[in-house]
Amino acid sequence: MAPSAIEAKPKEKTSQRPISSYVLKIASRCNLNCKYCYVYNLTDKTYLDQPAVMSTEIVQATIEKARIHCLKHELSTVEFIFHGGEPLLAGQEFFRAFTEQANKILLPEIQPRFSVQTNATLLTKEWLDLLTELKVSFGVSLDGTPEVNDANRVDHQGRGSYHRVKAGLDLINSDARYVESMNGILTVINVKSDPLEIYRHFRSLGVRSIDLRLPDATHDIPPPGIDPKGTNTPYADWLIPIFDEWFADADVNFSVKLFQNIIGLIFGSQRSTVDIGARSSNFVVIETNGSIEPSGALKACYEGITKIGLNVLSNEIDEIFDIPVVALFASAEDELPDTCKQCPIVSVCGGGKPPHRYSSANGFNNASVYCRDLMKLIGHVQEKVIGEIPDALRQEMALATLKELVTD
């Protein structure tokens, strides 16, 4: 059998996966004004027409429509992810009322799970006690050291947010119950920073997991540091030193989700994430007005792209599969450009995040604006991991590195 570690293979057209996760934009405003935010500071301004907080009517309709969808597709669990804006602006009573209503409508046939992604600046002991009581897990957004975080994650007066977030993290670390409920830190990569300083800073904060995200960008609005006409790979060059140190640490109690997902995909995992993997997505966004939408990251492309004319008050969740732009995520494997389908790493990168492929000239029919970075990073990770496997086992598994595949 020929070596085929991450070689592209032709696949039959996939069917859409039923929706098992709902990203709930329960608050459409934010107390921060992060410079790179796709909601407020790229091309889309439709948030200005949204109610500030999701109403009781929308909450009820969302849960009921989720129940109908779960029963139709025989799903026994469903996840509600409280998002924003800053979701804590919705208030503690909103969280209590939502979880109580979800449990009432869904149990016992369907088990609801709850999580919230917060900037942590509003966290108090009262908030953490409530989230723990309601079994709402939480993730915190932070970009690194004070200087690096405060370059982009500022409030509406231009003041940095690091010390307020750090105070929230200190509160979390003060109680084992809170630590157990924390999913980790989500961080947007800043290639101007020192990668190992950022990695070691996160280690020093006592968190168990970090999720390194590529900045939302398109070919029209390329990410910082990338020359669209050049050959530089600033994001791979930033990530590789972190991967090498993390891999050498071999600390099973500290997770870097991007690297773990790349390794899993190299060895045949079907798990996709927001930035990599071509398996179909299984989430939708519900806005404060009840609008049913695809991934909010598409807002980086152009004004109104996520407004597809569906609403929980008048439509069923299944109707989202009839909308062409949704297929970019819902049937991701079938919506790749031909150049991506022939690439040796497509089964790992999945063509990258759909918005990263967008240009006003060609729509989504482009390789990712991060293509060179993904190729270099994935090749490095693959070579490092496969290098740890004994030769005999490599031959038995028919594993080859990207360099070997290209040379052959």
Q: How confident is the model at residue 13 (pLDDT cuts 50, 70, 90)?
A: very low
Kindly tell me if the per-residue pLDDT of 324 is higher than 90.
no
pLDDT tens digits for range 141-175: 999 999 999 999 999 999 999 999 999 999 999 99
Alpha helices in 217-285 (DSSP H): 234-249, 257-266
Structure tokens at 256: 């870097």
Residue 207 CA to residue 108 CA, distance in Å, equals 34
Element (H, E) at 186: strand 182-188
Domains contained in the chain, CATH given: 21-332 (3.20.20.70)
Residue 268, pLDDT score: 82
Residue type, 11: K
Helices (H) and strands (E) in the chain, counts: 15, 10
Split at pLDDT 50, 70, 90, the class of 17 is: confident
- Can you tell me which residue has the tokens 């063509």? 351
Mean pLDDT of 67-84: 97
Q: Which of 8-17, 342-351, 375-384 has the highest mean pLDDT?
A: 375-384
Note the pLDDT tens digit of each residue in 117-149. 999 999 999 999 999 999 999 999 999 999 999
In this structure, what token pair is assigned to residue 50?
A: 């949204």
Structure token pair of residue 347 = 């089964």
Residue with tokens 């032709």: 10
Write the DSSP string, 330-343. HTGGGG--HHHHTS
Q: Name every residue whose Cβ is closer than 8 Å to that of residue 393 and which is 6 or more positions away in sequence.
A: none
Across 338-352, average pLDDT: 88
Q: Which range is least confidently modeled, 204-208, 300-304, 337-341, 390-394?
A: 390-394
pLDDT at site 300: 87
Least reliable range by pLDDT among 322-326, 342-346, 366-370 = 322-326
DSSP designation for 141: E
Q: Across the strands, what pairs with 32?
A: 155
Q: What is the mean pLDDT of residues 281-308?
A: 90
Give, for 100, the enclosing helix (H) or strand (E).
Answer: helix 92-106
Cα separation, 14 vs 11, in Å, equals 8
In this prediction, residue 251 has a pLDDT band, given cuts at 50, 70 and 90, of very high
- Tell me the pLDDT tens digit for each residue of 211-240: 999 999 999 999 999 987 889 999 999 999
Mean pLDDT estimate for the chain: 89
User: How far apart are alpha carbons 216 and 233 in whole angstroms?
Assistant: 16
Share of the chain above pLDDT 90, in %: 68
DSSP class of residue 363?
B
Predicted local confidence at residue 126, as pLDDT: 98
Tokens 């290639």 appear where? 191
- Alpha carbons 265 and 277: distance in angstroms, whole number: 7
Element housing 204 (H / E): helix 195-204
Burial of 336 (0-12, 13-18, 19+ CB in 10 A): buried
pLDDT at 6 over 80: no
Cα–Cα dist 180/169, whole Å: 13
pLDDT at 331: 63
Cα–Cα distances (Å) from 168 to 4, 8, 119, in that order, read 46, 44, 9
Task: Determine the pLDDT at residue 292.
Answer: 96
